[in-house]
């Protein structure tokens, strides 16, 4: 199975043939007009074969390769911009479990390709697959740049919105769970640079993922126990490519991944002097973000789901922070995508700035419960069906930019096709789980 979408390519590794990979490499070199491409990968064993093939394809297409090895996707983004390359490729399937792997494509500004550019790239890949370019007589060089993580960490440490010395004075004890993924080195390195005592778990890049890799509450039992056992101030968990961040409080309780962006917004809204104090997020992110923004004189602008949609909206306005409710924090002053390293720095500074524990800060965040359902449906024309759903219950507002979102007085439901899986997602949020379940079930049942 191969899924080509706004988010790039995801597939079972065996389904990505050498011809398929070289065609994508050649198409990407042509698309971005590259003379140099940055390439990095996560820790999946299949990544070694895929990376070798991608590098060969890039060189056959006439471009140099800057090989930064195993590192988080946000590091690939940062390195692309840092090295002034014309593009970057991160070899990862993000939070997908084994045997999935994939490709994420990055432009010269360190941003993911947008929907139009990805569509053009995918069409070009099919053309190149029919006729791959012949290798030049002299292949372009491979530049080994294994200091990419160091440069990325240094950039985060230079953020002028955080006070490094105040964080270091606290000497936080932090448990960090890399799920044996790409952030196994970068996470502890950043935290130690912030003066933290780090307890590293699942930080062996040579081992397989020890748990379901998505950093959701139900998958963080080991981290919860480690926080309690070590009497830590906080626990952080990331996904295999290190762009998503989840939090466990000092009592050993995993927070909803939605809380990560809300906590980051709390510190940015208090620290940044801006007329609008705009936070940009997608349509499926918690309404608690709106409440926090209102509290500090800010506003929330929403986009269709997809990281690049949030990034483009940040460019269009003067957003001080972007992100997604899956634990993704986009800090435009340091990187052009979701960055767990920047997220950890912001959240640790929030603890210092408010002089509170994680649980005390979480008590100040409005409480909502989000329910997420997946549906396998045979309905071919989903958009046509969604038009009928508006009549199920009269909403206060309707947003049809990405599937259909029905917004009520104190709840909402969003029905949309997934960008990364062959399913329909139904996401509902309300003050209680019962209300959210009832709201979600109403629409899930429609498709059965």
Q: Residues 44-96: pLDDT tens digits? A: 999 999 999 999 999 999 999 999 999 999 999 999 999 999 999 999 999 99
Same fold, 171-248 and 369-447: no
Catalytic residue flag (residue 94) = yes
CATH 3.10.620.30 fits 258-362, yes or no: no
**159 to each of 226, 234, 247, 333, 339, how far by Cα in Å?**
30, 21, 21, 8, 13
Q: What's the whole-model pTM score? A: 0.94
Q: What is the pLDDT at residue 265?
A: 97
Fold category of 369-447 in CATH = TATA-Binding Protein (3.30.310)
- pLDDT tens for 388-441 read 665 555 677 889 899 899 999 899 999 988 776 668 889 999 999 999 999 999
Residue 153's CB: how many other CB atoms inside 10 A?
Answer: 23
| Per-residue confidence (pLDDT) for residue 442, from 0 to 100 | 85
Render each residue's pLDDT in the chain as its tens digit; 448 residues. 898 988 899 999 999 999 999 999 999 999 999 999 999 999 999 999 999 999 999 999 999 999 999 999 999 999 999 999 999 999 999 999 999 999 999 999 999 999 999 999 999 999 999 999 999 999 999 999 999 999 999 999 999 889 999 999 999 999 999 999 999 999 999 999 999 999 999 999 999 999 999 999 999 999 999 999 999 999 999 999 999 999 999 999 999 999 999 999 999 999 987 778 999 999 999 999 999 999 999 999 999 999 999 999 998 888 999 999 999 999 998 998 999 999 999 999 999 999 999 999 999 999 999 999 988 765 555 656 666 665 555 677 889 899 899 999 899 999 988 776 668 889 999 999 999 999 999 888 776 6
Our CA dihedral for 372, 292, 314, 149, rounded to 10 degrees, sits at -80
- pLDDT score of 385: 63
For residues 184 and 204, what is the distance between their CA atoms, to the nearest angstrom? 6
**136 strand-pairing partners:** none
Which CATH topology does 171-248 take?
Alpha-D-Glucose-1,6-Bisphosphate; Chain A, domain 3 (3.40.120)
The reported pLDDT for the residue numbered 243 is 97
**Rounded to an integer, what distance in angstroms lies between the CA atom of residue 439 and that of residue 441?**
6
Residue ranges of the domains in the chain? 2-149, 171-248, 258-362, 369-447
In CATH, 2-149 is 3.40.120.10: yes
User: What's residue 346's pLDDT?
Assistant: 97
Active-site choice (90, 94, 256, 340): 94
């Amino acid at each position: 199975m191969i899924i080509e979408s706004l988010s790039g390519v995801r597939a079972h590794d065996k389904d990505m043939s050498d011809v398929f990979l070289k065609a994508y490499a050649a198409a990407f070199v042509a698309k971005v007009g590259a003379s140099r491409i940055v390439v990095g990968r996560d820790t999946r064993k299949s990544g070694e074969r895929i990376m070798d093939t991608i590098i060969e394809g890039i060189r056959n297409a006439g471009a140099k390769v800057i090989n930064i090895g195993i590192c988080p996707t946000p590091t690939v983004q940062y390195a692309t911009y840092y090295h002034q390359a014309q593009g970057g490729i991160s070899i990862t399937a993000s939070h997908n479990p084994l045997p999935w792997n994939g490709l994420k494509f990055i432009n010269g500004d360190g941003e993911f390709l947008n929907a139009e550019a990805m569509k053009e790239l995918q069409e070009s890949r099919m053309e190149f697959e029919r006729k791959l370019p012949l290798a030049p007589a002299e292949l372009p060089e491979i530049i080994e740049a294994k200091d990419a993580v160091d440069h990325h960490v240094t950039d985060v440490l230079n953020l002028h919105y955080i006070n490094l010395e105040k964080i270091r004075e606290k000497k936080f004890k932090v448990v960090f769970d890399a799920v044996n993924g790409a952030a196994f080195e970068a996470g502890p390195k950043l935290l130690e640079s912030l003066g933290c005592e780090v307890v590293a778990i699942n930080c062996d890049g040579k081992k397989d993922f020890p748990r379901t890799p998505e950093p959701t509450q139900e998958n963080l039992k080991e981290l919860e126990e480690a926080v309690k056992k070590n009497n830590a101030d906080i626990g952080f968990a990331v996904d295999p490519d290190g762009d998503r961040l989840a939090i466990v409080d000092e009592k050993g309780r995993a927070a909803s991944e939605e809380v990560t962006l809300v906590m980051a917004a709390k510190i940015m809204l208090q620290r940044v002097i801006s007329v609008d104090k705009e936070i940009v997020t997608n349509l499926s992110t918690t309404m608690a973000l709106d409440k926090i923004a209102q509290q500090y004189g800010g506003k929330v602008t929403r986009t269709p789901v997809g990281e690049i949609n949030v990034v483009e909206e940040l460019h269009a306005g003067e957003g001080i922070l972007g992100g997604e409710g899956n634990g993704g924090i986009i800090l435009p002053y340091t990187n052009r995508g979701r960055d767990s390293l920047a997220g950890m720095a912001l959240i640790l500074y929030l603890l210092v700035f408010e002089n509170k524990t994680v649980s005390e800060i979480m008590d100040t965040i409005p409480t909502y419960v989000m329910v997420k359902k997946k549906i396998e449906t045979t309905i071919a024309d989903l958009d046509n069906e969604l038009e009928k759903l508006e009549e199920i219950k009269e909403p206060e507002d309707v947003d049809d930019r990405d599937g259909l979102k029905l917004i009520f007085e104190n709840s909402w439901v969003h029905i949309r096709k997934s960008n990364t899986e062959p399913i329909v997602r139904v996401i509902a949020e309300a003050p209680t789980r019962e209300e959210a379940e009832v709201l979600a079930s109403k629409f899930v049942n429609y498709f059965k």
